[in-house]
Amino acid sequence: MTVLSYEEALAAYDPVLGLEVHVELNTISKMFCGCSTVFGAEPNTQVCAVCLGLPGSLPVVNVKAVESAIRIGLALNCTIAEWCRFARKNYFYPDMPKNYQISQYDEPIAYDGWTEVVLDGEIYRIGIERAHMEEDTGKSLHVGGATGRIHGADYSLLDYNRSGVPLIEIVTKPVEGTGAQAPEVARAYVTMLRDLLRALGVSDVRMEQGSLRCDANVSLRPVGTSTFGTRTETKNVNSLRSVERAVRYEITRQAAVLTEGGKITLETRHWHEESGTTTPGRSKETAEDYRYFPEPDLVPVAPSREWVDQLRATLPEPPAARLHRVSAEWGFSELEMRDVVSAGAVNAIEATVAAGASPQSARKWWLTEIARHANELGVDLENVGVTAQQVAEIQALVQNGTINDKLARQVFEGVIAGEGSPAEVVAARKLAIVSDENALAAAVNDAINANPDIVDKIKSGKVQATGALIGSVMKQLRGQADAARVRELILEKIN
């Protein structure tokens, strides 16, 4: 197979994206019954006749979930349906107790909206096709076999705790014109959506727990043409970083196929986090016919315009406006803000500032030290294992002279390694700066005595040689000294 670089792929082809995001709402109870939605409970302890689909049971709509759906729709500038119905999506799968999913089909609660994402100072407008309500399925755990998928497994375990948890599916219109930026735009969109949903307070938006899940549709067309190519749908891309990687991978993979004269198969694809590749799932040509029809167990949802207006009044600030505001509040330059946004650090910095740190220090830590750890761990910033509160604490320790920036890095390392709070790490690793003047003076004397040649240089006017002596002192004190004070002491002694 031809292997193309990303640049080669983009020279010949123009990518078109379509993103489907599933959001689990954080309602107390499930979509159609009173069971708890709390994540992580013992399997099959949060179930009842309704979410187990027992014969005779009937669904009742959770009004809070409808409210969240409407608020999401409004935040995405959608039209809210005056009247819409649920529909049954029929297919057989053991983790779906009724063998149909209650969803919405041709009458979504919200449709025809738009939103914006900012990337490197450029604004991309993303059309929103629809946002609709549905119920989540249970979870299958396939035991035995090599792949962890149902094929080849010895047996499967089913957990229905998630069955019936309210989901909102948000589908974009085709996203065109992003060119080489397509992977970054995809990531920026999901990041924006995550931030928006968090600001709305409708979801925990924890991608690692599956409360925000993304399916990425990618197609290519020759540069300069307008007809869409055949798309693939990469399922369950469950981190922001993976969204970007998966889109980039699909672009290069499809470009290679097309360059060789091959055809893209309309199919779903599985994303493999470790290898950063996708493999074929189900072909859509042989895909199931879901036999949608209006759900006869539920009455139509007809939100009154008064209610919609009330909910509109509860919306948080739109993301673009928010960026504009915080940038001004923090006094960041356009370039600084651009880096913050592309690193997905806006929330983290906001929280760190709220915890008492200065905006510049918060920016510095999140974009350097923590970003480095995130890269090494292959996770998003908020999953590195250090909270905004802790960042503010570390910065406070720097501020009051307990540690310096260099020592602060070790504190981060300790906090991320789970060694405790910043103060505990400082204590346990004995990182506090030596402020005892006698100890400092002793170390300075040692350094002067050990390096007569350097002392001579300094005496002869080569003041820059002081650095070598400072280094020697710092080494002796394992970096735990205030370099400026050490310099003062050295010059005092020599002169």
Partner 1 sequence: MTIRQPAASEIIRQSAVDLAAKIKSGELSAVEVARAHLDRIAEVDGEVHAFLYIDGERALAAAARVDAKIAAREQVGALAGVPLALKDILTYTGAPTTCGSKILEGWLPPYDATVTRRLLDHDIVILGKTNLDEFAMGSSTENSAYGPTRNPWDTSRIPGGSGGGSAAAVAAFEAPLAIGTDTGGSIRQPAAVTGTVGVKPTYGGSSRYGLVALASSLDQPGPCARTVLDAALLHKVIAGHDPCDSTSIDEPVPDVVGAARSADISGMKIGVVSELGGEGYARGVEQRFHEGVELLASLGAEIIEVSCPHFEYALPAYYLILPAECSSNLAKFDGMRFGLRVGDDGPASAEQVMGMSREAGFGAEVKRRIIIGTYALSSGYYDAYYGQAQKVRTLISRDFDQAFSRVDVLVSPSTPSTAFRIGEKVNDPLAMYMNDLCTIPSNLAGNASASFPVGLAPEDGLPVGLQVIAPPLADDRLYRVGAALEAALESDWGGPLLDRTSADRPEAGAVR
In 3D, which of 251, 234, 283, 274 has the Cα closest to residue 21? 234
The C-alpha atoms of residue 154 and residue 138 are separated, in whole angstroms, by 19
Shortest distance in whole angstroms from residue 305 CB to partner 1: 22
Min. distance of Cβ 294 from partner 1 in angstroms?
Answer: 9
Q: Name the helix (H) or strand (E) containing 21.
A: strand 13-24
* CB of 263 vs partner 1, minimal distance in Å: 24
Nearest to 416 by CA among 377, 446, 444, 466: 377
- How far is Cα of residue 201 from the mean position of the Cα atoms in its chain? 16
Please give the helix or strand (H or E) that residue 42 lies within, else none: none
Q: Of 139 and 457, which CB lies nearer to partner 1 in the complex structure?
A: 139
Q: Which is nearer to partner 1, 274 or 289 (CB)?
A: 289
Applying CB under 8 A, the residues found at the interface with partner 1 are 49, 52-61, 88, 90, 92, 94, 97-100, 150, 156, 158, 289, 291-293, 296-299
Backbone angles phi, psi at 315, to 5 degrees: -70, 145
Nearer to partner 1 among residue 177 and residue 300 (C-beta): 300
What is the smallest separation between the CB atom of 299 and partner 1, expressed in angstroms?
5
Considering only CA atoms, give the Rg of the chain: 28
Picking from 267, 190, 194, the residue whose alpha carbon sits closest to that of residue 234 is: 267
Q: Work out how close the CB of 3 gets to partner 1 at its nearest, in angstroms, rounded to a whole number.
A: 37
- Nearest-angstrom CA–CA distance, 382 and 420: 17
Query: Which one, of 389, 380, 433, 376, lies nearest residue 415 by Cα?
Result: 389
Task: Please state the closest distance from residue 44 (CB atom) to partner 1, in A.
Answer: 10
Please choose, from the candidates 271, 290, 203, 262, the residue with its C-alpha nearest in 3D space to the C-alpha of residue 233: 271
Helix (H, G, I), strand (E, B) or coil at 171: strand
Q: Which is nearer to partner 1, 98 or 187 (CB)?
A: 98
Secondary structure string (H, E, C) spanning 261-321? CCCCCCEEEEEECCCCEEEEEEECCCCCCCCCEECCCCCCECCCHHHHHHHHCCCCCCHHH
- To the nearest whole angstrom, how small is the minimum distance from the Cβ of residue 265 to partner 1? 20
β 232-237/267-272 pair status: parallel
Tell me how far, at minimum, the Cβ of 52 lies from partner 1, in Å: 7
Question: What's the distance, Cα to Cα, between the start and end of the chain in Å?
Answer: 72
> Is residue 421 within 8 Å of residue 390, measured between CB atoms?
yes
CB of 283 to partner 1, least distance (A): 16
Q: Pick between residue 63 and residue 335 the one whose CB is nearest to partner 1.
A: 63
Q: Which is nearer to partner 1, 297 or 446 (CB)?
A: 297
How far apart (Å, rounded) are the C-alpha atoms in residues 44 and 237? 26
The pair of structure tokens assigned to 99 is 């063998």
Pick from 112, 31, 29, 23: nearest CA to 73: 112
Q: Which is nearer to partner 1, 104 or 472 (CB)?
A: 104
Residue 40 or 55: which CB sits closer to partner 1? 55
Name the residue nearer to partner 1 (CB basis): 90 or 410: 90
Closest approach, Cβ 170 to partner 1, in A, equals 24
- Considering the complex, what minimum distance in angstroms separates the CB of residue 34 from partner 1? 10
Q: Specify the residue, 272 or 291, whose C-beta has the smaller distance to partner 1.
A: 291
Q: Counting Cβ atoms within 10 Å, is residue 97 exposed (0-12), middle (13-18) or buried (19+)?
A: buried
State which residue, 158 or 423, has the beta carbon closest to partner 1.
Answer: 158
